[in-house]
Structure 1
Amino acid sequence: MAQKFLIHTDTRDVVLEYEATDDDGIRVRINEDGPWKTAGLEQVGDTGLFLLMIDNQPTELYLERRRGGASVTIGRHTFDFKVDRWRSAFENRDTEEAGATGTLKITAPMTGSIVDVQRMVGDPVETGDVLLIIESMKMDNELRTPGNGVVSAIHVKAGDRVT
């Protein structure tokens, strides 16, 4: 099951996606249209020094937690960043944008196939109700409502692939 994160830096926001591979490895990609790359991260000792492997190319980095985020130093360059889980970051943003009576667009938090759509247009929903089930990496995952409302549109059906 791919996990998505939104990484905020001083200059831009980046979507990082990672998932386990069949051979117990990990692969990552930056932005949803980027190429998948094999990855690994190992801590060196008890310090903030790490060895990052991307497609078998090593890079040393120093990671330091900071209030509200972290910083990473690679060579002579230091980057401050904050990481949010993709789903919660966008639920919070969309809820703020929607207001008390607005429309809230709910998107898939992971790549997968739609197994079952459990609501229909016009159905009333409450916080936590299951809207649909997505199968990803051989696991079923429920997509739940972040708030109360009425389903106004459904753009997928069982068997559709989502990213």
Structure 2
Amino acid sequence: MSSKSNRYIVLVEGKKIPVEVNRGVIQKIGNTRHEMALKRVDTDEYIVEIDGKQHSGEIIRLKQNKCIVSVNGNTYSFEITSEAAHRRTKKIKEKAANASLKLTAPLPGKIVEVLATPGQKVKKGEALLVLEAMKMQNEIQSPVNGIIKSLNVHVGASVMKEHILMDIEVE
């Protein structure tokens, strides 16, 4: 009875390397087949035999699918995942990068000046509006580089703490 091979990818510094595993043993790295064996010496120490050559290795850190190992004194950091999981993670990261930031009032007060308009490109630290609170005027600045998607207040509006003042599309 033959065991089904599983395909994974190893991410090393953003580079994808396909790996084929059969019965828990790596059979193929990239497009090259290898004869591999793994022998545990101690809790985290192993002897890895690849194509007849032995290498001593140690697992330094293994958390979920992120690994840091030492082989023959060299340290390697990589991530093991499936191609489908990698695509999902990449899509989620892209979606988060395109998300908007909801700028909220840091304290209750009254809007006395609006310096930004929808569609305006803003830089981190740029003044967007002035909020008067306890007879003091507070300049509310952009926390990110982006584009104003919507403005949710107007001059004279009273706002409470955490009131959404505007949406900024993060760049």
- Give the alignment's TM-score, normalised by structure 2: 0.44
Larger RCO (CA within 8 A; separation ≥ 6): 1
- Give the alignment's TM-score, normalised by structure 1: 0.45
